[in-house]
């Protein structure tokens, strides 16, 4: 593993100073030395133009979202979800991206949680087969219910990990979002010890307001050291709302990553 832990910039939130064009944001990230980026939706973008910017800068697209935000504990949504998986997988292949992200969707108040878990697993298992056939992986993301995503069913890392392990497919892995985990009061070391084989990506933002690392309450040097010690060697996804100009907002986390 290289000494300098790589960073991956979410260009929906970062490099907004150069305008709304995703290609220009890719170029701005590359000019700042960031060679990996992430996006959310794909259906609202000119994928040819984005692919051209990625190719021209040698930038990798690390993740994009499976669109729809459907409640997967409702079997009536599964066919629509699988259609979104196919669309996201096709977009990912077109853009050279190997990871497509989903959550569980909101829970259903009239159904026991364990039953809902099993139904979500059914959807993820079917989706994982489609993803694997395209050569991509679905990343199941833990999302907090305390601040950002009220009602979400899988709001803990443990439940997401349980689903990934139950499916047991190369088409499904965990996106560990440290911001959401910390908002839920979790201790990352406790959640991830013995689980790193299921983790395909990590994203971060500072607490309490989802701003850049260094503006909140989290000791990022300690958290990144923990991730490395546990065996994570991929990019650190920067999914925060910059409180300052994007390039300036990167300084603290870049210095921390370089010091490990």
Q: Please tell me which residue in 67, 141, 186, 212 is annotated as part of the active site.
A: 141
Predicted pLDDT at 101? 99
| H or E segment and range at residue 126 | helix 113-133
Residue with tokens 């979790």: 186
Q: Please tell me which residue in 38, 191, 212, 239 is annotated as part of the active site.
A: 239
Dist CA 98 CA 148 (whole Å): 26
Predicted pLDDT at 2? 40
User: Is 0.95 surpassed by the pTM of this model?
Assistant: yes
Sequence-distant (6+) residues with CB within 8 A of 12 are 38, 39, 40
Residue with tokens 């985990």: 181
165-223, pLDDT tens digit by residue? 999 999 999 999 999 999 999 999 999 999 999 999 999 999 999 999 999 999 999 99
Contact 202/237 with Cβ under 8 angstroms? yes
Which of 67, 258, 228, 103 has the alpha carbon at shortest distance from 177?
103
117-152, pLDDT tens digit by residue? 999 999 999 999 999 999 999 999 999 999 999 999
Dist CA 254 CA 207 (whole Å): 18
Q: Among this protein's residues, is 159 annotated catalytic?
A: no
Tell me which fold the domain 7-259 belongs to: TIM Barrel (3.20.20)
Predicted pLDDT at 4? 67
CB atoms within 10 A of CB 251: 13
Sequence-distant (6+) residues with CB within 8 A of 174 are 139, 140, 141, 142, 157, 160, 161, 164, 195, 198, 199, 200
210-236, pLDDT tens digit by residue? 999 999 999 999 999 999 999 999 999
Q: Among this protein's residues, is 141 annotated catalytic?
A: yes
Domain ranges of the chain: 7-259
């Amino acid at each position: 593993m290289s000494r300098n832990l790589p960073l991956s910039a979410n260009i929906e939130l970062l490099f907004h100073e150069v305008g709304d064009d995703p290609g220009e944001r890719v170029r701005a990230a590359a000019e700042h030395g960031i060679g990996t980026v992430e996006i959310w939706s794909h259906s609202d973008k000119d994928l040819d133009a984005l692919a051209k910017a990625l190719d021209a800068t040698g930038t990798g697209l690390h993740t994009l979202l499976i669109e729809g935000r459907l409640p997967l504990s409702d079997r009536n949504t599964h066919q629509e979800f699988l259609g979104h998986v196919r669309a996201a997988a096709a977009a990912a292949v077109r853009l050279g991206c190997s990871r497509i992200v989903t959550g569980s969707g909101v829970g259903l108040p009239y159904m026991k949680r364990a039953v809902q878990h099993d139904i979500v697993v059914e959807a993820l298992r079917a989706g994982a087969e489609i993803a694997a056939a395209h050569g991509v992986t679905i990343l199941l993301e833990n999302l907090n219910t305390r601040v950002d995503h009220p009602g979400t069913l899988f709001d803990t890392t443990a439940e997401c990990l349980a689903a990934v392990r139950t499916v047991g497919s190369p088409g499904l892995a965990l996106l560990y979002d440290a911001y959401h985990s910390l908002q839920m009061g979790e201790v990352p070391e406790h959640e991830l010890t013995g689980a790193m084989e299921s983790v395909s990506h990590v994203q971060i933002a500072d607490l309490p307001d989802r701003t850049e690392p260094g503006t909140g309450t989290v000791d990022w040097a300690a958290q990144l050291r923990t991730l490395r010690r546990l065996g994570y060697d991929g990019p650190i996804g920067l999914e925060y709302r910059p409180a300052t100009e994007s390039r300036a907002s990167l300084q603290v986390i870049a210095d921390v990553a370089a010091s490990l």
